[in-house]
């Protein structure tokens, strides 16, 4: 069965580029939303193998979303946080909440695709 990936990114250009790149690399069925509220709704109704989320999003932040995912026992779902800030405290908080990987902007879409591939293979 094809693995489902959710991309949560409020920057439409970046979001569509990530979606396109992962789709092109045939990593799974890619869905995308551009705010935390829609992401939460999508997570409640779907079972994703991987969620890629920006840290700053409208309504619900990436960290809050991660907290929600982990609180709802979706322990197997891999979670990648994208962030423009590489602050140690933010990174530590993300890992404390159970993030699988953390990518600081600027990043290469190719690198993101490689990390996603590795995570999906390991899962």
Partner 1 sequence: MISRLQFLEDQDPKMIFIFGVTVVLTGLIIFFLSLIIISKISRTRDRRLKRKYWPYIKEHLAMIAIQSVVNEGVKYDYRRSLRFLMQIRNRSRKIAQWVLDEIMKQKANLTGEANKTMLKVYRDLNLKTYSLRKLKSFNSNTVARGIYELESMEQRDVFSKFYKFLGSKNTDLRMAARLGLTSLAPNPLSFLDHLKEELSEWEQMSIYNRLRSKHKDQLPDFSKFYYHEQPSAVAFCVEMTVRFNYFELIPQLIELLKTTKNRSMVIDALKELEAFQALPYVKRLIHKSNNPQTIISCLNFLAHIGDESCRSIFETFIEHKNFEVRMAAVGMAAKLNIEFESSSEELESMLLHHQNELIS
Query: Whose Cβ is closer to partner 1: residue 53's or residue 77's?
Result: 53
Query: Whose Cβ is closer to partner 1: residue 70's or residue 107's?
Result: 107
How near is the Cβ of 47 to partner 1 at its closest, in Å?
28
How near is the Cβ of 23 to partner 1 at its closest, in Å?
9
Query: Whose Cβ is closer to partner 1: residue 105's or residue 118's?
Result: 105
Query: Whose Cβ is closer to partner 1: residue 24's or residue 118's?
Result: 24
How near is the Cβ of 11 to partner 1 at its closest, in Å?
7
Nearest to 115 by CA among 80, 83, 82, 87: 80
| Cβ–Cβ < 8 Å for 83, 90 | yes
The order of strands in the sheet holding 4-8 is 29-33, 4-8, 50-54, 78-83, 101-104
* Site residues (vs partner 1, CB under 8 A): 11-14, 16-17, 20-21, 24, 84, 105-110
Neighbouring residues of 51: CB distance < 8 A, sequence distance ≥ 6: 5, 6, 8, 39, 43, 65, 69, 77, 78, 79, 80
How near is the Cβ of 16 to partner 1 at its closest, in Å?
5
Tell me how long the chain is. 123
């Amino acid at each position: 069965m094809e693995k489902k990936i959710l991309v949560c990114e409020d920057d439409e250009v970046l979001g569509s580029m990530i979606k396109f790149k992962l789709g092109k690399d045939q990593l799974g069925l890619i869905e995308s939303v551009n705010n935390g509220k829609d992401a939460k709704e999508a997570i409640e109704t779907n079972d994703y193998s991987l969620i890629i989320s920006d840290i700053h999003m409208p309504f619900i932040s990436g960290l809050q979303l991660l907290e929600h995912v982990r609180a709802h026992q979706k322990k197997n779902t891999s979670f990648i946080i994208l962030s423009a800030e590489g602050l140690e405290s933010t990174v530590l908080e993300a890992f404390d909440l159970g993030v699988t990987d953390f990518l600081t902007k600027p990043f290469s879409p190719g690198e993101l695709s490689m990390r996603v591939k590795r995570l999906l293979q390991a899962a």
